[in-house]
């Protein structure tokens, strides 16, 4: 006598969900690397602060690339007259540079858009990474 049909649906769903997280983390790490490549490097603090992780948003796996360092916001969007969408300060200001011990007058700095460009300019690579990871993990 045969046992009949044995469903492996739950097992396959769990394996697929785990693979989605692995694939998304691989893609997020790729974006992280590209963002580090595109960011300015004076001390390297900004580059080192960029992280990649995955989170669950409902039943969707989401890759998150970012930084908790305050300066990254200014590097990304710019400051002063160079700020994105004209949202910066219009007049000059003075700041103190801890490294040189000097005061400088500025009108702002241009944003690098490192994080945005890392994601938007490499969409095809990101899709390829996710597809290859999923295919490899599912035996396809």
pLDDT tens for 59-118 read 999 999 999 999 899 999 999 999 999 889 999 999 999 989 999 999 999 999 999 999
Q: What is the pTM of this model?
A: 0.84
Strand partners, 67: none
104, 67, 57, 17 alpha-carbon torsion, rounded to 10°: 150
Q: Is residue 77 part of a domain?
A: yes
pLDDT band at 44, cuts 50/70/90? confident
Assigned domain for 4 exists = no
Q: Check whether 140 has a pLDDT greater than 60.
A: no
| Domain residue limits at 106 | 9-138
Q: Is the pLDDT of residue 139 over 70?
A: no
C-alpha closest to that of 28 among 113, 118, 114:
118
Q: Is the pLDDT at 121 greater than 90, yes or no?
A: yes
Does residue 2 lie in a domain region?
no
Inform me whether the pLDDT recorded for 58 exceeds 70: yes
How many domains are there within the chain?
1
Kindly state whether residue 129 falls inside one of the protein's structural domains: yes
| Residue 66 placed within a domain | yes
Q: What is the mean pLDDT of residues 12-28?
A: 94
Domain assignment of residue 109, yes or no: yes
CA–CA gap between residue 90 and residue 112 (Å, rounded): 19
Task: Report if residue 132 sits inside a domain.
Answer: yes
Place of tokens 């044995």: 6
% of the chain with per-residue pLDDT over 90? 76
- Six-digit token string for 74: 């200014």
Q: Is residue 75 part of a domain?
A: yes
């Amino acid at each position: 006598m045969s046992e009949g049909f044995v469903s492996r649906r739950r097992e396959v769903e769990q394996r697929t969900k785990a693979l989605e997280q692995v694939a998304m983390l691989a893609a997020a790490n790729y974006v992280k690397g590209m963002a580090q490549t595109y960011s300015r490097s004076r001390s390297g603090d900004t580059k080192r602060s960029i992280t990649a992780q995955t989170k669950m948003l409902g039943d969707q796996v989401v890759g998150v690339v970012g930084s908790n360092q305050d300066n990254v916001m200014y590097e990304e969007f710019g400051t002063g007259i160079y700020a994105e969408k004209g949202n910066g300060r219009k007049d000059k200001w003075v700041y103190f540079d801890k490294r040189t011990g000097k005061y400088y007058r500025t009108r702002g700095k241009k944003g690098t858009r490192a994080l945005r460009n890392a994601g938007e300019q490499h969409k095809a690579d990101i899709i390829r990474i996710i597809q290859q990871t999923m295919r490899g993990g599912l035996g396809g």
